[in-house]
Every structure is written in structure tokens, then in C-alpha cells.
Structure 1
Amino acid sequence: MKPIVPGGSAATSAGMPGDILIVEDDAIIALDFEQTVAEFGVTRVRVASSVAQALVMIAERAPDFALLDIGLSEEKSFAVAKRLAVLKIPFAFVTGYSGDKVFPPEYSARPRLSKPFLRDELFSVLSNWQTAALDDPH
């Protein structure tokens, strides 16, 4: 079965990351992300609901790409972003926040998706996942 991409056309999963880590504390949103990226052809999706869990998962097996919700219950995901940047693993932020005041300057150029996310925007971020690492100043 070919992945379903925006516009209803089928495409191969070429160009999509093979392993995505989703850092999201809302189970329904995480499930929506998980189902959507699987439809795009991503073969492995892992979900962490906290910074500690995400850091353990990264240490056990580094993902190809990560989607990071900024606000996780009582914490922010910037520690995960820092670890991913050190490892040169591309990532994008997912947030319900508007504006730049919650973003440390070192992450201002990172891709961002708004909540609720638009399927086309998620597809675009994942299609261009390799350039997210190239744009990183670290």
C-alpha cells in the first residue's frame, strides 16, 4: 500500500525520514501525529511524553527526525532540542504558542508547526527534513 499524501495522491515514501521521534504529552495529539506520519510512509514512529523519556529514547536509538511539542505538562522540550542539535539530528517544533518569546534564539530558524497542525504543513516539513539539519548553526 502506498502512503496517502496531501491532495489525495499516492506517492512513495522516498524522501521521508525512516524513524521519527514525537515528543508530545497529549495522547490524542500524539496519536494523530503518529497516524499521519505513518500515512506519509514513515516506517518507524516512537512517542515520548516527557523530556526524560525522550532523552532515554534518543540514547537508545537516535531517530532520523523529531517533532517536539514545546510545552510538556510542567516542562519545556528545549533540553531535547539541545541534545538533538548536538547529535545533528534534524527536528521541528510543534506549538500552540504564537510569537517568538518562548523560543531561545538558537532555535529561531527551526521549522515550526502550529497546533492544530495542518496535514500539508506537516508533509512539507517531513519532505524537507534533511535541510533542517543543514540550517542549524550549531
Structure 2
Amino acid sequence: MSRTAPLAITIATGDSRPIVRQIIDAIRRQISTGDLSVGDKLPSVRGLAQQLAINPNTVSKSYAQLTAEGWLESRAGLGLFVAARRDQLSAAERERRLGEAVDRFVGEVIAIRYPADEAVAAVADAFDALTLVRSA
């Protein structure tokens, strides 16, 4: 039987994103960076809810969306597992989602009056850090 992969998720109370979105983003990132591998078992809804001290319905909604998007797969009687990733988004959809993410980011940077050049450098640093983690 598969061991349950630990999920290093932190809920930020000051984050403008809802808790469901924070969980989704954290799991997507862990899968994308290789922290979670195909076939890894995720904690149960109740287990993750207890770990994060949140309502199990919140975890359930996050897991349901990740399953619908193809990030996770449910195995009857066994639980949720990281699914084999397939490019299921068209180029146009990927471009649309990138545009939305950029718009949100730029809006946040402007709202906190952060210099654009420093924000761009911070994004580049974050990508570099992910690259280092993947190659390690």
C-alpha cells in the first residue's frame, strides 16, 4: 500500500486568496516542482483539515477541483493520488490563464506601491529558486 505523502501547506490568514485557492495553489506547486510525484497518496480530507485546523469541506472542495482539473485521481477505497500529468489545456487556454495571473500580480504590485523593476526581479528569483530545487 502507498504511503501518504506529507503536504507542506501553510494557510496565510492575511492572503487575499480564499483558503480553497491557497490549498489548490500549494498542491499544484508541489506537483509541478516534483515535491509530489505521480502515484503519491495525499492525506485524507479529514487528515489535511486537522493538519491545517480548517473545515474538512474546504479541503474537500480543493481536492474536488484538483481532481476535476486532472492533477489528482481518486482510487475507490484507497484515496486520492497524484495523477499522471497530461497537457490538457490548449495553447489559448494557457495564454488566457497566464494573462489572468499576470493581471492579478500586477494589480497587487501596484496596490502595495512596489517598484516594478524590483517585482520583476523577485519573480525571476522565484523561478530561479524553483529551477534549483528541480535540479537538486
TM-score range relative to shorter protein: under 0.3
Per the normalisation by structure 1, the TM-score is 0.27
Per the normalisation by structure 2, the TM-score is 0.27
> Which structure has the bigger radius of gyration?
2
